[in-house]
A and B are shown apart, each in its own frame.
Chain A
Amino acid sequence: MALTPTQLNTKSRATAPGPRPADELIHTSTFGRLNHFPNMGIQPKRFHSGQLIMLERGLYRVITSETVAYDVYMGPRCALTNAEAAGSTSLELKNVEDGVTSIPAGTRILIGGRESNEPLEVVTSSTTTSISSKTGTVNLAGVAATANLKMIGTSAGDYSTKTITISDGTNTVVFTGNGSSTAAAKTTDTAYTFGSQSISAAATAATRVQAAIALAKSNGDLEVTAAVASSVNVNLTQDNVGKSGNTTIATTILSAKMGIDQFTGGINSSPLVKAFKAGAVATILFAPNGFESAFRSIVDLEPENKDDETEGLAYVVPCVPAMPAYIGRDGSTNVGVDSDETTVANGVDNGGADKNYVNMGQGLHNQTGADVHATASDYADVGYAFGNSHRVRVGLTSPKIFIDQPAGTRMFFASESNQMSFSKTGFIDAHVSPEWEPNNTFGLWIGVGERSLPQFKLLVDNGLDIVNPRVRLIGVKYLVKPVGEREVKRMIQRSGSFNYETIPTANEAVRKVQSNNAPSDGWYQHVKKMRTRSMNRTEWEQSISQVSNTTRNILSGSKGSSYGAEGRGIDPRRDHR
């Protein structure tokens, strides 16, 4: 519950809530800001209030502007097969986009939210989900963390007076080896003993430790279940699911006498909070290597169409978040966020008498207690060392983004290349336009009307699975007003000239076809526009000219907008007669 102003000791007051409640925020996995740049590099340009701009339709003035940020989630799309009630812990997905064979545990899935009145929720998969025939069932029930203790020591002295500290996330219990007993015993709620008397085999030690942990569990002092496996292993499982079970086990037993696989894998239960209808659209916030999405239109991006004479205009620069790329500790390439905890060959005791240890960290490893070796004679045998081996971050990699604007018209492509092949041209990635430095060259102007809306496509061909694939749009939204002929004349009378910036609108982008004798908007549109009207020679030449309206405006210099104060009296149906 939010704190009150009194609790906060401020004069703050509550304001109207946002359009979506806090539990509908899109919680995603993120690597954060990967590097810090004091000036953020070269950022998108912004026009100021009062500045004149030339659109295809004529001269406009910027009334106000405001920066805008938008995340387009580009992970594989799918839909819920069934209606799901609140509290459901199992989701059946259908129509999963091609290229996805499984969804790893811990993946976020965004459900709903496509319309402002549709509920939205982000859930987390608890286990790996297999996708077959475009369907799969996602488990949201959560997973309990597991760990393992591997007993290696074969004598009572390896365990007596030594401790093992285990936590269930709430309770912590210290188990101490008791060389005078073979049975487990409770000392306090947080202290137990395990029998280390007469241990002569690792399997015996495993049984003794398991018994002590089981005693603590039966007394309600520790919510961890222990079981002996393969005679020398003590498998530990947290009784409660969730991340809080990913605790650390501490011990004073020598690493050569007991190996520890720490608690990992705990994932919180993420049951649905809201109910969803069958067919609700979902986006998996994970894109495996090789995934290629369909083109997606984002209708939210359309600027507001005002009732008055002003209109909206948006300029957004698509940029791509990056994720770290590594060279593995073994020199392998295409390494993502993999584990460095897997055992390295030779990374085991080589059978020497306490002397042949493996050094995986910095400096000579130091044993404690009775096993400290201080002199060279203590290291009479051969040993092994690996230095400080770990993966190395070598770059920031990303998927590729392709853009159509308007729909069906490729942007940023080499004109002669195959427009249906998405690999060598027309892409934006973190090299071209990274999230921390959006590249103005690839900015998009979006006017009122869905015709100018861009569409986005994602291609993962960098060899790595992408966590939270998205496109970020950073830019400015403007409110602009047409400048009439009268105002243009006034400006010229006053100062002789005026300056303006030219704005290319979507249908004004670089012409995609090679033709010298067709209208720029195509014959179909042109004939439709000129229906029932005779065409004089000037109109004919203009219609097949390669010069666009914007260029005519530039060449004509001082033409005002045909829309606006002076245009109000003109019947808009005129163009269609």
Chain B
Amino acid sequence: MARVNFGRSPTVRGWNNQENLLKVGYIIKFAGEQGGYYMVQAVEGMTYDLVVTANGNTAGTEVSDGYDSGMFVDEDLEPLQGHLYQLVPSLYRQPKFITRSGTYDGVGFPNDTTAVTLVAGTQTIGGARRDYVGDISGSVFLQHPQGIPRWRADEAPNDDKTGFIDVTSSPADDPNYTFQIWLRSGESNLPAFRYVNSSGEALFNPVIHLEGAKYRIVPLSEAQIQDIRKQQNGKLRYKLISAYGLPTSASIGSDYYAQD
């Protein structure tokens, strides 16, 4: 369905995604998992748009100020067995204006074709016009796995003042790899998102844009690991993937969490 689209910003990327993606041949290991080395066998880019909608939309799929989607899961995001997704959530931008009269709260897209009345006397409003001053978006909160809030301060797990991204921190034209998520097969690995509109205006493109890569990973046998160690003079270089961020308070002291 076509939505109102404001396009991308006229900029170039600050994040070099090539420095943040895995390459074919990389050996990886998942943090918190005993043993288990995998080799990246194939890499492919991936894009995904998670659209949130509100009941009572009048046109398109805009969501009004104060909209809260609640936590939701998209099951299409589950990778196949042997696949791994590395995705960066980001937000599409919406232009923000200050009106020609200087107001800015909830002004949307001001109409400059309304007449200003000039009373008696030589008067002019000069080149008065609205001004495009920046970009706004909704805020996105993440639970990964479901029930475990991410990106938030430990002491404020359920507070809206922490644990979110918006177009300032991760715009769709330059997704911020600091906020990347790793998805493995199995529904219990699916993330849950929440989209909140606290921008003060209706948002016309309420979409969480996910961009990154999907990988085919194959488990390496102990014999293969030993072969690789031999080839590399006893060393094994691998990348540790922390699929769920920091361990939660419940698992921090758990023996289940591997020390390596």
Show the binding face of A for B, using Cβ within 8 Å.
34-35, 37, 39-42, 45, 289-290, 322, 324-325, 327, 329-334, 344-346, 358-359, 361-364, 373, 375-376, 378-390, 392, 394-398, 411-418, 423-428, 430-432, 434, 436-437, 439-442, 461-464, 502, 504, 508-511, 513-514, 516, 546-548, 550-551, 554-555, 557
Contact = CB atoms under 8 A, between A and B. Distances in A.
Contact of A441 (B21, B75, B83): B21
A384 B204 contact: no
B121 A440 contact: no
Given A550-B24, A557-B231, A510 B125 contact: no
Interface stretch (B208-216, B236-244, B250-258): B208-216
A463 B51 contact: no
A425 B109 contact: no
Contacts of B58: none
Contact of B10 (A396, A398, A428, A516): A396
Interface in B169-202: 172-173
Interface in B124-154: 124-130, 132
Interface of B: 1-13, 16-18, 21, 23-25, 39, 41-51, 75-83, 85, 92-93, 95, 97, 100, 108-130, 132, 172-173, 204, 209, 211-216, 218, 224, 227-228, 231
A415 B117 contact: no
A511 B129 contact: no
Contacts of B17: 42, 439-441
Contacts of A439: 17, 45
A352 to B, nearest CB: 11
Nearest to A334: B4
Contacts of B16: 42
B115 A386 contact: yes
A364 B123 CA distance: 7
A394 B7 contact: yes
17 contacts: A35-B10, A37-B11, A290-B2, A345-B113, A362-B126, A385-B123, A386-B115, A387-B112, A394-B6, A394-B132, A396-B7, A416-B80, A431-B172, A439-B45, A502-B23, A551-B39, A551-B41
Contacts of A387: 100, 112, 116, 125-129
B44 A509 contact: yes
Nearest to A41: B12
Identify the interface centre among A358, A384, A436: most chain B CB within 10 Å of its CB.
A384
A13 to B, nearest CB: 40
Given A334-B5, A379-B121, A431-B172, A442 B112 contact: no
Contacts of B113: 329-330, 344-345, 386, 389
A325 B10 CA distance: 11
Given A325-B6, A363-B126, A390-B129, A376 B216 contact: no
Contact of B46 (A385, A394, A425): A425
Contact of B76 (A378, A417, A437, A554): A417
A330 B3 contact: no
A160 to B, nearest CB: 28
Q: Which of B6, B47, B110, B122 has the most CB of A within 10 A?
A: B47
B80 A425 contact: no
Contacts of A441: 17-18, 21, 45, 211-213
Contacts of A35: 10-11
Closest 8 CB pairs of A and B: A395-B7, A41-B12, A397-B7, A387-B128, A389-B112, A362-B127, A364-B124, A388-B127
Contacts of A364: 122-124, 126
A441 B19 CA distance: 11
Contacts of B228: 555
Contact of A431 (B8, B97, B224): B8
Nearest to A554: B25
Residue from A45, A325, A415 having most chain B Cβ neighbours under 10 A:
A415
B12 A40 contact: yes
Give the most central of B4, B216, B227: most A CB within 10 Å.
B216
A325 B204 CA distance: 14
B227 A412 contact: no
Nearest to A395: B7
Nearest to B112: A389
A436 to B, nearest CB: 7
Given A384-B117, A387-B125, A389-B112, A416 B7 contact: no
Contacts of B12: 37, 39-42, 436-437
Contact of A548 (B42, B44, B78, B127): B42
Contact of B95 (A42, A394, A513): A394
A290 B112 CA distance: 29
Contacts of A395: 5-10, 93, 95
B128 A388 contact: yes
Nearest to A417: B76
